[in-house]
Structure formats: structure tokens, C-alpha cells
Structure 1
Amino acid sequence: MIAELNHLIETVEAHLTEDVDIDGLATQVGTTEYHLRRMFSSLAGMPLSEYIRRRRMTVAAADIVAPDAGAGERMLDIAVRYGYGSTEAFGRAFRSVHGASPAEVRADGGPLRSQPKLRFRLTVEGNSSMDTRITHRPGFRLVGHAARVPLIHQGVNPKIQAHIAGIPASEHARLKALSSTEPAGLLQVSADVDPDYTEGSELTYLHGVAVDAATAVPEDLDAIEVPESDWVVFRTSGAYPAALQEAYASSAADWFPSNPWRLRPGPSIVAVLERADDFSTATTELWMPVERV
């Protein structure tokens, strides 16, 4: 995976002034666009689209402050070169990276905030094992109460908290009674997640349970159909939700580069096996949909 990501970086660098065919590139290196984008965002700490924008604006700044730029290259020509149809759109993207307009930078030479070219390297660690298993599951349904919420990488998600708090205690008991297959118990389900895993992007959060595919869904509940597939399951224990969020990060940094599996589109599921009364600590299972490489 490290080699594939570095090949992606080189391809982006060679095509900063044009669109990059990420899907075609993923096919070339034997993976999928979904997996490539998820691994990039997890390891780089930013979406691929954001990295490309920052690199474009870094190189565009060099064109704006170049000695011959003052001789008369129009701002529109520079904007078009980097894929923008107007100076206004280019200016917004430029300011979001550098904190100043192209005209201000041309006049004063700055301020500039450069995005260095990334380089992924493999760090050999592996001194702590991950409690992991692969399981094949027939098709099943996830049923419960769903809401659209923003993606938050660290800490408690207040929108999810509010959603769960709004579900009556009697409804939790009803959902538990419906559970009929693995993953067992009350589940935290994230679906329709942005492949770039962009902070603040919307996803569907479902608080519910898993039932077999033949179980009828009550009319007042939302449902997500899950096809027959393979799953990797990470078991975590510790501070909640920190230990769980660390498992997401470690899966990209340690587990996927070392194993012949890749992420595929589908919901990720958290099963809470044990928890403190105040939910400060918990033992959880993180289920992620995978396919063999």
C-alpha cells in the first residue's frame, strides 16, 4: 500500500494543472479508488482532494510571485492553468490555503503557506499485536433509528449524542429484543461515508441492531441492507471513544499495509460489548467491510 500511495503522489505532482483519474490510477496499481482514498486520508491526515488543492495553490503561488509574473501574465491565465474558470473561484481557493489573495501576494510577495510534497514511508513497529479476526457473513439487515450527522475524527460527536439521547429507554430495550444475528447487541453504524473521510462531511448514523435477511423490518424503523461479504473485526478496550478512534487509525497505518485485504464500500459497525456506567471506558468490536486483494 505504501508503494501505491507514493505512486499516487507522483502522479498528482505530474498532473497538477489537470484532473487526475484516481479511479484509473487505482486500477493500474491493483486496488480500488475507494480503498486508495480511505488509506490516503487516514495516513495523510487530510482528504486526497484537499492535498491536491493545497499542492496546486502552492505551485500557483510560485507562478504569481515569479519575477516575470509582474511583467504581465494575467491572473485569469494562471487561474485557468490550474483548472479554475474564473479569477474569483481561483482567488477563493488561493485565499483558503495562503490566507491572502493572489493580488496581495503578487504585490507583497506573501504571506505564503506551502504544502510540501508528501512521501509515505513504512515504519517498522509491530511491537503490539492487534486483536483481529476475519469473518464471512451472509446478507443481513441493520435496523434502528437513523440520522444524518457530520463526520468527526476525534472526541465525542455531539450530533450522535443528541440523536441517541432522543431515543426513549423503552426503545433501546425493544431494539435489543430484535437483535438476531452478528454483530450482536446495540450497534453504532456509520454508512454513506465520504471516501475521502473528510472532517465535517455528512454520513448516515444508525443506532440499532443486526437482524437476518428474512426478518421483516417494523415500519417505524430505518433499515440498511448489507449483502453477503467478508469483514475484519478489531476488538478494542480502553478509554471511550479514544481507543476506538485509535483502532480506526491503526487499521490504516498497521493492519491493511500488512495484510492481503482492502476496504470496500459499505457500513462500518461498532458493537459495544462492555462499558462503564458513565461510558468513560468500553470494550468494543469495530467491524469494517473488506475484500481479498
Structure 2
Amino acid sequence: MNNQTTKQDFQKPPRKNNSANLVGFIIVFLGVAILFKNLNMGSIFPSWIFGWETILIIIGLVIGINSKFEKKASIILILIGSVFLLKNELGLSIGKFIIPAGAIILGLYLINRNRNTPQLPPTPPQDDEYDWDKRVTTDLQSENPGTTTSSTNDPYAQATQAEHRIYNKKFQPDFENYLKVDNFFSDTKKVMLSKNFLGGNITSVFGSTSLNFLQAELKQPVVIDTFQLFGSTKIIVPTNWRVYSNVSSIFGEVDDRRPMIEIETDDNKKIYITGTSIFGGLTIKNS
């Protein structure tokens, strides 16, 4: 019974990747448009739909819809594609407004960043602490029966109990156990030492990411969401971990270099790798 309870507390495996369906529909639409153009029927579609600017906008929309526009890469791609599309269609000069527009965006970003001070998430509560509180409370109540009513009427005690309940409901994993990597024209190499890794997000745009999990531990199945645009990601995992890759690749590569050897694995040590790779590569290996 306890085993069933612990399994229910684990994170559920990710659902089907809806971004693959969206990318498929977009590719079909572009194929139909190119076919009509080759058949001298391109007047049905506007000329700008065949430009590289439109491709950038479409890629940004795919990434944004898939991540609910939480990834900055989607906004960057949409902005770049939109700026050059307006330049070509309306004859606007980029140099006249790109510098002031960039200054405005940078200023708003700095203002918003300074306004929202980052806060460290709370650390997990220890069961021993709550057991100790219960023992002390029980002993005090047995020695002083009259203190029960006074503690329940004490507003400070009630506030403390309410705070503990909110604390438990809103608990979030700390930074040590959660991974978040954003690479833009840069490289990142990390050795994960977490003894309770809980998953995370990886974004590589014109950059590379290398993660080593040989010294990390898993206590439940986790999900790592990745995005590569002209970038690469390398993930090194222990041999007793199960890795399931469900990455949509567009002109990219997902290379699993782990040896085909049957090894006993733990059902709790599972990593589900999801995301999108566009002109990029994802490599999974054991060493």
C-alpha cells in the first residue's frame, strides 16, 4: 500500500508532444505554398510567405505555443523576423529605429528585473521537525490540560499553523535540485551534484550545453525540456538510468550513443527528454 502511495506522488510521464503536430501542419502548409508557386499559381499566396523572415516568425510561434511563450527564444525569433519583414515589405530603414527600439526594450527589461527581486524557494520541510513539534505539543498538553484552549485561541499560533499549511502547499524545489540553462551565443558546462534531481529546462541558441549527471541521483521520474536553435546539447547519464527521448527535430539530430547492453535499472531513475531541435543536435551518452 505504501508503495502505491509513493508511486502516485511521483511526477507523471509527459503527455504527447503537441509541438510535433503543429510543426507538421506548418510544414504541410509551406509545402503546398511552394507547390503552387512552382506551378505558376503563386499569386494565391503573398510573396512574403516564402521569405526566410516568415520562417523565423513561424519557428518562434511554434516554440512560443509549445512553451506558452515562457521561452525568450520564441520572442526573439518573432521580433527578428518581424523587423526584417517590415523592412522588405514597407521599405523601412532598420537603422533608424532598431537602436532606439533596442534601448527601450533593454530599459524596460532592467526596470522590470530590478522591480522583481528574485527570491530563493523554501527548502523541503523535514519530517523529524514536525514529529518533534507533535511530541512537544502532546507532552505539554498532557502536563497542562488548560493550555489547549489558550493555544487554539492564540492568534499567533493560528497564524503559524496557517503559514505551515501554505508552506506545504506552495513548496517548490530549490535551485540545487532544479536545472535552468539559457545559452545565447555562449557555452555552458555543468556537473550536477544534486541528490534529488527534479528536472528542468535547457535553451541553446547559437550555443552549446554540456551536462554531467554521473554524480547526481534520482528519486522519481523527471522531465528535461530542451530547445536547440543552431546549438547543441550533450547529456551524460549513469548507466542505470533510463532515458526516454521525445524531441521534435527539424534539420537537426538526436544521437543516443549509449551502448546496447541490458543493465538492471530502477523504475524511479527515469528521465524524459522533450522539446524541439532546429538546426541543432542532442547527444545522450554514458561517459
TM-score class normalised by the smaller sequence: under 0.3
State TM-score, norm by structure 2: 0.25
State TM-score, norm by structure 1: 0.25
Higher helix share: 2
More relative contact order, 1 or 2 (CA 8 Å, 6+ apart): 1
Task: State which structure, 1 or 2, has the greater radius of gyration over its C-alpha atoms.
Answer: 2
